[in-house]
Amino acid sequence: IGYRMFDCAECYGNEKALGKAFKNYFDDDENSVQRSDICIVSKVWNTNHKAEHVREACLNTLKNLQTDYLDAYLIHWPIAFEYTGPGPCGNDGTPESIPKDSLGHCRLNRNTSIYETWKAMESLVDDGLVRSIGVSNFSSIQLADILSYAKYPPAINQVECHAYLIQENLLKMCRSKGITMVAYAPLGRPG
């Protein structure tokens, strides 16, 4: 029907279903659209920010989507949680899995920096697993930090942006640095 960009993430729980649909579609010789005609974006979840987990998460995403590469791979949020195991959002497989302590507080991974995560993302580009890398939910300050050491600057910053949350300054900064700002919830969020 003409839709060409597919927005995925470990925590959306949509990668396996889309992978099956892609395989069925691309295996049909009568279809004129090829893999190179679509854009597949996915995101590494907060529990997988450590370098070896970034790679593991990407390989899992590629397996789920049944593709050899991603057009873009984003850091989902600029915060690292404790590692909870392989799989979608950790070993329990639930969407929006956030590791919590006995008091219900999020267990952060304070030993993993965005620098480490970004360098691991860059290695995915070098290895041909990902065409471009970017971020999601990053502020201007967080983008400036990445730009200070990035071999490959972020291609995308996907953020909430709509009439009630214009993000004008962030948009100006992204434009000035050649970063495409992609809006989610462009019609606003419920409530």
Catalytic residues: 12
Buried-state track 133-169, b at ≥16 Cβ within 10 A, e below 16: bbbbbbbbebbebbeeebebebbbbbbebeeeeebee
Three-state DSSP state, 98:
coil
CA angle 129, 144, 107 (to 5 degrees): 70
Give the closest residue to 125 by CA, choosing from 69, 57, 48: 69
Sign of the torsion angle spanned by Cα atoms 186, 94, 132, 143: positive
Q: How far apart are the first and last CA of the chain?
A: 31
Q: What sign results for the dihedral spanned by CA atoms 107, 110, 111, 114?
A: positive
Cα-Cα-Cα-Cα dihedral sign, residues 96, 168, 150, 62 = positive
